[in-house]
Structure 1
């Protein structure tokens, strides 16, 4: 074995203390904190995925509905857009909007 000098041992000790004080190890020092952190990560990932997919699908749907020079895709996209518009709740003109 090699003999480590006192300064080298002190440097290793300081490096270990610095590593143990790192944010990752402070968060994961208990199962409860780790589970809460992972729950928040999962919720954030799921919400971001759903919102991102919603934006992408709506943009692609809008873009496809604008294509009329390709008969098959244009007709299909127009029918899809019409069906989506029928499913949206219609505002009643006699009922005032909430918050007024």
Structure 2
């Protein structure tokens, strides 16, 4: 053993204590606790999937309606303009009947 080895021991104890505290914080983190239980994980992923699906549907609906409206204002392309106007008319008719 060299002369410097006893000086490193207090540092090693402090490092081990800090590592133990960090591992405790990591193990008590919400993300780790969710993944420790299969039922919690399944319910978390189910709710996450519902939120993703709902957001996708709402986003796609808004995007398609804005795109259809913009296409309906195009008059210089006869086929696309008429087709988009029919879609807008169909949407407004269905919206007023409900």
TM-score, normalised to structure 2, is 0.77
Structure showing greater radius of gyration is: 2
Which 4+ stretches in 1 moved above 3 angstroms?
A: 83-89
Could you tell me how far apart the structure 1 residues matched to 2:21 and 2:29 are? 12
5+ unaligned residues in a row in structure 1: which ranges?
A: 92-100
Could you tell me how far apart the structure 1 residues matched to 2:95 and 2:21 are? 63
Tell me whether 1:77 sits opposite 2:90 in the alignment.
no
Which moves more between the two structures, 23-32 or 4-13?
4-13
Q: How does 1:6-85 map onto structure 2 within 5 Å? A: 6-85=13-92
Aligned residues: 89
CA RMSD of aligned residues (A): 2.1
TM-score, normalised to structure 1, is 0.75
